Amino acid sequence: AQSVSQHNHHVILSEAASLELGCNYSYGGTVNLFWYVQYPGQHLQLLLKYFSGDPLVKGIKGFEAEFIKSKFSFNLRKPSVQWSDTAEYFCAVNHPNSGGYQKVTFGTGTKLQVIP
């Protein structure tokens, strides 16, 4: 079965620090990869996504992620975090399934707390 691992459950950073959140998945075939963000009290929103092409993907608010196929990883990065980045971040993997539903598997999430 497909699984997604997020190794950091809770990360605390000071403003301007660099961020890297790890994400590894288990499925060996073609996958689509996503990072979603959930700000306190809000719904999940798409941060960035990878389907094909350049493995370095840029998203909103200065976030980026790199797909490394050989490592089954899709780590999220940001050079300098802000207090407003305090949120929970979810990595997700979709196995393209023509004619079927979107089989999206989510990681358990990483809570990021940015201290002013």
Tokens 């989510």, residue?
A: 106
The string of DSSP letters for 46-101 reads EEEEE-SS-SEEE-GGG-EEEEEGGGTEEEEEESS--GGG-EEEEEEEEE--TTS-
Binding of other proteins at residue 106 (CB under 8 A)?
A: yes
Give least dist CB 90 to other proteins, A: 6
Work out how close the CB of 98 gets to other proteins at its nearest, in angstroms, rounded to a whole number.
6
- Check binding of 40 to other proteins (CB under 8 A): no
Binding region for other proteins (CB under 8 A): 9, 32, 34, 36, 42-46, 49, 51, 90, 92, 94, 96-102, 104, 106-109
